[in-house]
Amino acid sequence: MKKQLRSYGIITVGSVIFALSFDWFFAANAVGMGGITGLAQVLNVLFPALSVGIGTILLNVPLFLAGWKFIGFHLLASSLFSMTVSSLAMDGIALLYTFSPMDPMLASICGGAMMGAGLGIVFSQGATTGGTDIVARLLKLKFPWLPMGKLILIPDGVVLALTAIAFQRLETALYGAVALYVSSKVMDTVLYGRNASKVAYIISNHWQKISDAILAYDRGVTILNATGAYSGSEKHVLMVAFRQREIVEIKEIVHEADPAAFLIVCDAHDVLGEGFGEYQKEL
């Protein structure tokens, strides 16, 4: 129970941050927003009596019903809580304070960053804010290797296109696209940034010297047997997983041992096991 209360407390913080980003940067500067909130913006223009918060709740009902079967009750319950908090916070903040307009590009960048941070916090607890976030969760079941930030771009991009048509103002959607891109980057940083890692593949005639130096640096090394396609000669390829902050030291170690070494450094989305992260089931 204590763990669950902590989780819902974190969801509340993320939901309020999401709502604040909408009122402060999107609504105040006529910047289009993706997802169900973007559709609620359109409805608010057509029917001013229908607030964005209430419109968001109404539009989310069929999506929550559709997601129940595939996502499960726990995610649905926490997402319903997050959606309710964020929607009511949007209307509450709007009633309490009216934010002044600013440069639309600045609003798009800052709003996207704040929205991404809020969504990342909510997603980190296995919840969503509803709407196209649920669509992204459903896509995650089909494409588990894709990060949430990229998955959410798909449905949100469609909504932005509809927003441009409804508002008959291309700039609204273009600024929204900038905010959406920034949001996806910040969201992935919040979700995966703490475990950002790299994998290096090293091919060298002095592989043993390089291996010993990396082991002395307290990083593990895996030796892969390979054959050069052109020369036909046997090769040893060193595979090393390391934290992103260690990249400078790893490159220096390789260069000092063999300036002619062939080094490939790749991004590693998840590195699990000793010295790195632990497995957590994707929700």
Percent of the chain with pLDDT over 90: 36
Rounded average pLDDT over 96-118: 93
Instruction: Give per-residue pLDDT as tens, 131-186.
Output: 766 777 677 777 776 776 677 777 777 778 877 777 777 888 889 889 988 988 89
pLDDT band at 282 (very low <50, low <70, confident <90, very high): very low
Enter the DSSP assignment of 28: G
pLDDT at 243 over 70: yes
pTM above 0.75, yes or no: no
Six-digit token string for 28? 């105040």
What is the structure's pLDDT at 274?
A: 64
- Cross-sheet strand order for the sheet of 262-268: 222-227, 234-243, 197-203, 262-268
Give me the sign of the Cα torsion angle 134, 127, 75, 194: positive
Half-sphere exposure of 172 (CA within 13 A, CB side): 22
What is the structure's pLDDT at 70?
A: 66
Residue 275, phi-psi category: left (phi > 0), alpha (psi -120 to 50), beta (remainder)? left
Half-sphere exposure of 226 (CA within 13 A, CB side): 18
Enter the DSSP assignment of 277: B
